[in-house]
Structure 1
Amino acid sequence: MASEGLILLNIGHAVHYADWNYKNVNSPFARIYLVDKGEARLHLPDGVQQLSPRNLYIIPPFTLHSYECDNYYSLFYIHMYENQSLAHRILEDYIFPKEIAATAFDRALVERLLEINPERELKFYDPKQYDNSSSLIRNISKYAKLPLHISIETKGILFQLLSRFLEKAAPKNEISDNRIEYILAYIRKNIHRALKLEDLAKRCNLSKDHFIRLFHKEVNLTPTSYINQKKIEQAQLMLHTTDAMIKDISFELSFNDVSYFNRLFKKISGLSPREYRATDLPEKNR
């Protein structure tokens, strides 16, 4: 079951006393919070979001953010990962509302998810302690070993909670042209390759200039910008899940110039590859 769709990494209930203050968190998985008591603040690239009781919040994968808490604060947390081999990914393909009002049923779902996954709580709340390659791989492995009935119920609850955000979400790209929809899936499946605009245009039976104009009209990005964004997201995942050297990651993603790769990585993610990996040191080294 873990080979498809959403994968539960962690779930638990945390109580903080002005100690939930972590900066520059950027993970390959999504977070959902159900705030229980108290207030905190979530710093995002587009502003500050107040976290208040009886609300649900979502942080999509690869979103640079920071936490700020100066008093008592308790919440349920859910960390979930989406299979990166999928051509279409819900967590990456939609713009979600940051906050929605939680219902009693939402809370019951979260509590049930915790009940059937009793050993998935975080041992440490500092992202530097749990947001690393060994933890990610270990949690994916745990999920793969769940009994079938627990796996199905877990996935069902994750989709139900996600559906609450999807109700008011908007696709990042409203694709009306089948050729561009095909190319987006092709890019994701072949992100390690050197993707040339001429070849992509040929797959659409379009001239290069026509392809670029159509792509920009549909996606609101140039093909090059979109490809670079997806390559850097893949690089982030590789930095999390492998010990490969930065230069080897850049070459594997078909960047011939490591310096350019480093500059592009920082421009898109907010951190250099070295800084990004520094937040991912194994627990035993901390």
Structure 2
Amino acid sequence: MNELFSFLKLSMLHVGYAKLDHRWGFKNVISPFVRLFLVTKGSAYAEYAGKSFELKPGFMYLIPSFMYNDYRCNDYHEQYYTGFFEEIKLGMSVFNQKKTKYVVKANDTDYDLFKRLVSINPSKSIKDSNPVIHINRDLQGYKNSKKRSIQHIIETEAILTILFSRFIENTDIIADKSSFKGDLNRVLIYIAKHLEEELTVADLASYCNLSTDHFSKSFFLKFNMKPNKYIQLKRIERAQFLLLTTNDSLLQIAENVGLKSLSYFSKKFKEKVGLSPAKFRKEQLKL
């Protein structure tokens, strides 16, 4: 599975150095990108992944994409921060493949890398700490970003890769116990490419040249999830991304993620997220 990481692609949205006080406090924040920061002074608090963290100087913290989190600063703290998209291959994420840490002790190299990342991306800082404002601005700026030098683009991704690697453990989330000796990962790419279409287990089995039963068993053994459940998960994740990054109507989003019925889309979205699509979008906009 490690050979997949030669295809790792990281795309930065923002980076900077912030001095934050008691006004830095928000609940139920969710973003479609990874957030990573290094605290240099003071202290703050964050809750995510079912855990509470005291954000202390000398440590780096990682918040995966699409993970709800709360954070607050009671007094004052300073931090380097960055946000970026990550993808191994189309439709595949590091977080679905490897176990990751949420906090690591920073070393001198980490400080130097963050300083360099800020220096070569001087216009990528967050202008407003309100997550709704800066998430929307970041995503809009990402879509409309001006050309940067190829040297800085390559160096930026290299630095992000080094910082991100500090959190990745050499342990697979799911051991490969599948009796299928081919590359089942390629079906994940197929799903991502055809998510807006009707996808059946029979179609996916045919794509892998397997019987339906053999495919379903092999998929479950490898990913610890039934194919239909995986498809629904990816449809809801993409819907969250579109709700946060576009002004598309709920029906348009439902159709874009392969759920043609608005009522069915709303039902499945609420089952996974706990809120209806409309309320999810509204809650995020009023943080």
Question: Normalising by structure 1, what TM-score?
Answer: 0.88
Which amino acid in structure 1 is aligned with residue 163 of structure 2? L
Q: Does residue 139 of the first structure (1) align with residue 142 of the second (2)? A: yes
Structure 1 residues 168-177 or 6-15, which shifts more? 168-177
84 and 191 in structure 1: CA distance in 2 versus 1, 3 angstrom threshold:
farther
Contact 2:37 2:82 survives alignment (8 Å): yes
1:37-76 correspondence runs (5 A) = 37-76=41-80
2:150 is matched with which residue? 148
2:236 to 214, 232, 246: 232
Which amino acid in structure 2 is aligned with residue 243 of structure 1? N
Which amino acid in structure 1 is aligned with residue 159 of structure 2? I
2:28 is matched with which residue? 24
Cα distance in structure 2, aligned partners of 1:63 and 1:24: 9
Contact 2:196 2:259 survives alignment (8 Å): no
SS of corresponding position for 2:61: strand
Shift of 1:224: 1.1
Which amino acid in structure 2 is aligned with residue 186 of structure 1? Y
SS of corresponding position for 1:8: strand
106 and 173 in structure 1: CA distance in 2 versus 1, 3 angstrom threshold:
same
2:115 is matched with which residue? 111
Shift of 1:211: 2.0
1:176-255 correspondence runs (5 A) = 177-255=181-259
Question: Normalising by structure 2, what TM-score?
Answer: 0.87
Cα distance in structure 2, aligned partners of 1:75 and 1:139: 22
Which amino acid in structure 2 is aligned with residue 162 of structure 1? F
Q: Is there any run of 5+ residues in structure 2 with no aligned partner, and where? A: 1-7
Structure 1 residues 168-177 or 112-121, which shifts more? 168-177
1:13-55, CA deviations, whole angstroms, 9 ceiling, x for partnerless residues?
Answer: 1122222210111111110010112222221142222221111
1:221-255, CA deviations, whole angstroms, 9 ceiling, x for partnerless residues?
Answer: 11111111111111122223322111221122221
Which amino acid in structure 1 is aligned with residue 140 of structure 2? I
Cα distance in structure 1, aligned partners of 2:253 and 2:143: 22
Cα distance in structure 1, aligned partners of 2:234 and 2:252: 17
1:8 is matched with which residue? 12
1:157-183, CA deviations, whole angstroms, 9 ceiling, x for partnerless residues?
Answer: 1111111112x2544444464242222
Give the share of equivalent positions with the same residue, in percent.
Answer: 33
113 and 49 in structure 1: CA distance in 2 versus 1, 3 angstrom threshold:
same
SS of corresponding position for 1:161: helix
Number of aligned residues:
277
Cα distance in structure 1, aligned partners of 2:126 and 2:283: 17
Contact 2:36 2:60 survives alignment (8 Å): yes
SS of corresponding position for 1:206: coil
Cα distance in structure 2, aligned partners of 1:58 and 1:23: 17
Structure 1 residues 113-122 or 4-13, which shifts more? 4-13
2:161 to 147, 150, 159: 159
Q: Is there any run of 5+ residues in structure 1 with no aligned partner, and where? A: none
Cα distance in structure 2, aligned partners of 1:42 and 1:171: 26
Cα distance in structure 2, aligned partners of 1:44 and 1:234: 21
1:104-148, CA deviations, whole angstroms, 9 ceiling, x for partnerless residues?
Answer: 11010001100111111111101021112x530313432x61111
Shift of 1:84: 9.3
Cα distance in structure 2, aligned partners of 1:180 and 1:160: 28
269 and 170 in structure 1: CA distance in 2 versus 1, 3 angstrom threshold:
farther
SS of corresponding position for 2:281: helix
233 and 32 in structure 1: CA distance in 2 versus 1, 3 angstrom threshold:
same
1:33 is matched with which residue? 37
126 and 169 in structure 1: CA distance in 2 versus 1, 3 angstrom threshold:
farther
Contact 1:97 1:169 survives alignment (8 Å): no
1:97 is matched with which residue? 101
SS of corresponding position for 1:23: strand
Contact 1:60 1:92 survives alignment (8 Å): no
1:264 to 257, 262, 268: 268
